[in-house]
Chain A
Amino acid sequence: MRVARHQQHWIAFSTIVTREVRRFLRIWAQTLLPPAITMTLYFIIFGNLIGARIGDMGGFSYIEYIAPGIIMMAVINNAYANVASSFFSAKFQNHIEELIVAPVPNYVILAGYVAGGTARGLFVGLIVTVVALFFTHLPVQNLLLTFSVVLLSAILFALGGFINAIYARSFDEISIIPTFILTPLTYLGGVFYSISLLPDFWQHVSMLNPVLYMVNAFRYGLLGASDINLWLAFGIIVLFIAALSWYALHLLDKGTGLRK
């Protein structure tokens, strides 16, 4: 039975997503459990133990203030790590050839992997949210806004993970970007503090950090408080998604790291 080309693309896309979801569920002890444990420790140490001595921040208790940032941090890291490790493993074990040989357009390959990474980001985000509810109350001010920010942020970092995996030639090279770029950006992206506490100069420097916009837009969706303009945050996230999508497709079309 022959199906129309757009149906073939849809089947190929859902096949990639299914395989990616099956993969992160199969290795749940490496993918789902660690963020749950790490984020629980964050809530215990920064939220309960240290947070109780810090007092209020931006009109909220400290633990309430950092909870959105911690959830967002888990989403970002997991969306990134899923695509980076899965796509690089496929290259490393050569089973990426299954996809290159098949009549799957590059945009479907990219969309499939990004959707898989996004799914893991959201899944982990949900787990961490449940953990957070054991420690604090999370009033959702705007559900649609909250969900769209977390979704777009997961997509953005899944794209980042994909580009990292395309360039990577060893497993070391897929941990360099998370260690030296992603972690500092996240920690300096207003997860644990309001940038209004910083001197003017560092406030302006912080504005160059895209993670700041995601964390704050997400915090606004949950708590109704933000250090930055909401539309600017959306604009920046969408702009980054467009730029990284274009670049990732360009790399796939060139066959960088995939074809000799």
Chain B
Amino acid sequence: MRALSIQQLHKTYKNGFEALNDIQLEVEQGDFFALLGPNGAGKSTTIGIITSLITKTSGRIQVFDADLDTDRELAKSYIGLVPQEFNFNGFEQVKHILITQAGYYGVPAKEAETHADELLKKLGLWDKRHSSARALSGGMKRRLMIARALVHQPKLLILDEPTAGVDIELRRSMWTFLRDINRQGTTIILTTHYLEEAENLCRNIAIIDKGQIIENTDMKSLLNRLDRETFVLDLKQPLTDLSALADLCCHQVDSTTLEIELCRSESLNSLFNRLSECGIEVASMKNKANRLEELFLTLVESSETQQ
């Protein structure tokens, strides 16, 4: 079954700006799906239309087969949204926010309280349950938004840049939490600017640019398309002469840092053999950019060239 089906979606704002142009997108039940794109590409407009915050110009959206136009309430009941900006009432108590949200979805009070308590404990907010939301730290506010989106147990969770401005430790713990709920059956759609996050979490991906889907495939096939990777090597001793490596595509950043670009056909073993032959010892190595990031930039740049 499809968790989300978008057909021929168009959105033109009153000022004439065409935000979405014929979006077609399908997300299977149980998927962990990334919707990526540069700023202003149309990600948030797409999410806004799916969640009824923005009115579409034309097109059709179905959530678990419920049509958003003809069976609006059922379609909405399947969705949980974690928006980009904090949008809870800062003066309300944390637990009240969750129980109120569950009430909007018609969850009976006792059940709502049980779900709220479970989520508050799982997301490390239990001790703050009686605090007003504005007193929470930034990371806690992010977790509160996730708890609020899950309190009615949605089948489809949409996260619009959920880890923006969150420190790495919290981001990793949120990844673990999201992987768990996805494993338990919740379909997840994620937009993020941290491409490492998308690469780590998502199985399928769509890239949107200038209101159009320019790529829609599974993460593995997309990453397989990457034909070159750049590695940054930290050397044990300063390198004075680069001539021995003239046939390699490399660039010396400073005396102990070397950047080498490799084709997919070349192996790392042969590179290291070559470096050993030249008496170059490598202390550590890393990718210059995240693999998905390199692909993303290539795809967006080529889409811009075509236009």
Contact = CB atoms under 8 A, between A and B. Distances in A.
B107 A95 contact: no
B108 interface: yes
Contacts of B74: 103
A80 B72 CA distance: 31
Q: Which of A1, A7, A15 has the most CB of B within 10 A?
A: A15
Contact of B104 (A5, A12, A90, A93): A12
A94 B55 CA distance: 17
B216 to A, nearest CB: 25
Contacts, number: 84
Nearest to A98: B101
A93 B108 contact: no
Interface in A1-25: 1, 3, 5, 7-9, 11-12, 14-16, 18-19, 22
Contact of A259 (B55, B72, B73, B88): B55
A260 B73 contact: no
B77 A14 contact: no
B83 interface: yes
B198 to A, nearest CB: 23
Nearest to A26: B91
Contacts of B76: 101-103
Given A100-B53, A101-B76, A93 B106 contact: no
Nearest to B45: A260
A93 B100 contact: no
Nearest to B19: A260
B145 to A, nearest CB: 11
B96 A22 contact: yes
Determine chain A's interface SS by DSSP, over half rule. helix
A22 B97 CA distance: 12
B103 A15 contact: yes
B46 to A, nearest CB: 13
B94 interface: no
Interface in B64-119: 72-74, 76-77, 79, 81, 83, 85, 87-92, 96, 100-101, 103-109, 111
B111 A1 contact: yes
Interface in A31-51: none
Chain B interface residue bracket vs A: 20 to 34
A121 B87 CA distance: 28
Q: Which of A11, A99, A103, A105 has the most CB of B within 10 A?
A: A103
A173 interface: no
A15 B89 contact: no
Contacts of A100: 52-53
A104 B103 CA distance: 10
Contact of A8 (B51, B87, B106, B148): B106
B48 interface: yes
A253 to B, nearest CB: 11
A22 B77 CA distance: 26
Nearest to A93: B89
Nearest to A97: B87
B175 interface: no
B272 interface: no
Given A260-B13, A260-B53, A103 B105 contact: yes
Contact of B87 (A7, A15, A98, A105): A98
A94 B87 contact: yes
Nearest to B110: A1
A129 B253 CA distance: 82
Given A14-B103, A100-B53, A260-B13, A93 B48 contact: no
Contacts of A105: 73
B135 interface: no
Interface of A: 1, 3, 5, 7-9, 11-12, 14-16, 18-19, 22, 26, 89-90, 93-95, 97-105, 255, 259-260
26 contacts: A1-B108, A1-B111, A3-B106, A5-B106, A7-B106, A11-B107, A11-B109, A12-B104, A15-B100, A15-B103, A18-B100, A22-B96, A97-B53, A98-B87, A98-B104, A101-B53, A101-B79, A102-B76, A102-B105, A103-B74, A103-B76, A103-B77, A103-B106, A259-B53, A260-B48, A260-B55
What are the nearest 4 A-B pairs in CB distance? Answer: A8-B106, A15-B103, A102-B104, A94-B87
